[in-house]
Amino acid sequence: MKSLIKKIARSDVGINVRNFIGFRPIWIRRNREYRVVSVSDAFLWRTDNGFKTTFKYSDILGLFYKIKDSYVELVFYSKDNNLIKRIIINRLDYSNELLIDRDFLNGIEGYGVFYIFHRSDSDCGDDLVISNRCYVGFSMEGSLSSFVHGNLYVRYQSLDGKYGGSGMIQSSFFKNLYRIQNSFVEFKKSELFFVNPTSKKLNFSIGLNKYSLEKGCSILIDVSGKEEISILSKCLFLRPVIFNYKDCFFDVYHG
Amino acid sequence: MNFFFGINSSILNSKLTIPRFQNKNPTKKDYKVFQLGINNKRWKINYLDDVVLSGDFYQINSSVIDNGNIFCLATKDEVLQFAENNSPKLMNFNNYTDTTPDFRANLQVSIKGGGFSSYQSEYPFSMVTKRGSILSPLSSLCNKNADKNILFLKNIYELPVHDEFGVFFVNLKTKRVLKREVAVTNFMNEIIIEKDFIKPEVFMFTDKYIGVPVFCSIKGKHISLEHTHPPHAYIMGVDRFRVVSELKREFNEIIN
């Protein structure tokens, strides 16, 4: 009987019910039929206000699976989820670096997200699921980059790029509270960066301010001077990247 | 549960902020900050009565942070139970900081008159009971253009011992050990990383104990601090521990 309940609770219908009512929710899901995939965060890029972004990523297929012909595809979107560019990078080292500045993004000054998908044309077996956690560094006016690691699972694609999915983070019927566990009072300015990691329109609020993001869209919100910040939404995992500014310096981390 | 830690370094100031609330629930005021350290080969736990409480945040500054000490959130009853048990090992006091999303403290390091950078500074109890090895690429978070790159390697082990273990810098392409440093358990180890080691094929590997590697880069008055993930965080398939074990075996063969 116990194992039957467990089986039901772990089925697609069971997970839907759990997420709907908020009982032991499963916050991340992907199509389990796809068994050879590369999962990506929605990484923030910034070229606004003198920012440059440095992206550091590993050749996971080469390092862990000794696959020699691996390469990566990176796909860049504006904050409104409009495709900016798509690039393929061959000849990978174990660790790699890409500078994302205004020139790289066709002169665009702004912010948005990008995804990284690992690729291989070799036979990679029938059970290989990888996720590059990566590191994204932000520098302003030539300063040393401040790095933050990947934090979410948002999109996935097969290693041959033929199929994939998005909106991996799940939602519930009821609203969820997320209290950021740090204070912002000591900083001159603080910004929160959110991307909608779900497959639906996302509504959320911070205090009395309400925000709405279409699928794949992102937003930077000024929350300067607040002691504590709480975020209310139906998303089961909505954690921002945080920028804090003091004097001539800034820091970035995930909240 | 999670332990939290700071950095005591001649180069940096550090401040550890621990919230007394979970990220989805109201504040529980009976959770206080305690400090643990090794004294006469026993774990000793102290209530930090002089810690600053600002709003719902405990703030622990440089003067309290020692590289051999760790911090946790607990109630007085839970700590009393630990003291009465007279256990030679660290105990899992509670599940207050076992949350989804992960519980976050904030360890902020700064340079006098300069920049600041932070990292969440949690050390899960599940790591405290384990020995093994950690593997981390150097060039992911080190910066060749920085004046200085430092590896802060924190280990917390359940037994109150200061055992030595090796930290190896290994070139995976040439299969050579470039350098061996010595680290100590239950300590925040500070290791300067030579610029020549900052290459895609160079990795840091430990031989007997695990830990959290936190990398710090400093250039002028600017600073960046972030931790690397353990290798199994990159693999979501069912074979992840086998794949990581095979890679670590490769490194073990190189260092031996």
Among residues A165, A180, A203, the one where a domain terminates is A165
Q: What is the pLDDT of residue A30?
A: 66
Tell me the mean pLDDT in the region B133-140.
95
Q: What is the pLDDT of residue A28?
A: 66
CB pair distance less than 8 Å for B54 and A144: no
CB pair distance less than 8 Å for A227 and B55: yes
Residues A56 and A135 sit within 8 Å (Cβ to Cβ)? yes
Domain extent for A250 = 171-254
Q: Same domain for A158 and A70?
A: yes
Q: Is the dihedral of CA A108, A110, A111, A112 positive or negative?
A: negative
Using CA atoms in the order B168, B172, B175, B180, what is the torsion angle rounded to 10 degrees?
Answer: -10
Distance CA B208, CA B142 (A): 24
Among residues A165, A195, A213, the one where a domain terminates is A165
8-state DSSP, A6:
H
Q: Same domain for A161 and A43?
A: yes
Rounded to the nearest angstrom, the gap between the alpha carbon of residue B176 and the centroid of all alpha carbons in its chain is: 27
A7 in a structural domain: no
Burial B86-98 (b: 16+ CB within 10 A, else e): eeeebbebbebbe
Tell me the mean pLDDT in the region B132-154.
95
Which residue among B103, B119, B139 places its CB closest to the CB of A95?
B139
Q: What is the pLDDT of residue A44?
A: 97
Among residues A165, A193, A223, the one where a domain terminates is A165
Q: ipTM value of the model? A: 0.93
Distance CA A220, CA A227 (A): 19
Query: Does residue B136 surpass a pLDDT of 90?
Result: yes
Helices assigned H by DSSP within chain A: 2-10, 12-21, 60-65
Question: Tokens at residue A123, please?
Answer: 């036979």
A6 in a structural domain: no
Q: Same domain for A54 and A150?
A: yes
pTM for this predicted structure = 0.93
Mutation target vs B (from A26, A70, A242, A251; most B CBs, 10 A cutoff): A251
Q: Same domain for A146 and A88?
A: yes
Segments in chain A below pLDDT 50: none
Q: Same domain for A176 and A159?
A: no
Which residue among A149, A177, A179 places its CB closest to the CB of B229?
A149
Q: What tens digit of pLDDT does each residue of A54-82 get?
A: 999 999 999 999 998 899 999 999 999 99
Mutation target vs A (from B24, B229, B246; most A CBs, 10 A cutoff): B229
Q: Same domain for A157 and A182?
A: no
CATH number reported for the structural domain that contains residue A137 in this entry: 2.60.290
Q: Give chain B's largest Cα–Cα span.
A: 55
Q: Same domain for A125 and A178?
A: no
Q: Same domain for A155 and A176?
A: no
Q: Same domain for A249 and A192?
A: yes
The dihedral region occupied by B123, where left means phi > 0, alpha psi between -120 and 50, and beta the remainder, is beta
Question: Tokens at residue A6, please?
Answer: 């467990």
Q: Same domain for A239 and A196?
A: yes
Mutation target vs B (from A30, A181, A233; most B CBs, 10 A cutoff): A181
Q: What tens digit of pLDDT does each residue of B31-47 get?
A: 999 999 999 999 999 99
B 74-133 residues inside an 8 A Cβ radius of A: 100-101, 103-106, 108, 114-120
Distance CA B15, CA B37 (A): 18
Interface contact B143, partner A, CB < 8 A: yes
- How many domains does the structure of chain A reveal? 2
A210 in a structural domain: yes
Q: What tens digit of pLDDT does each residue of B214-235 get?
A: 999 999 999 999 999 889 889 9
Provide long-range contacts, Cβ within 8 A and 24+ apart, for B28-31. Answer: B28/B96, B30/B75, B30/B76, B31/B73, B31/B74, B31/B75, B31/B96
Q: Same domain for A206 and A151?
A: no
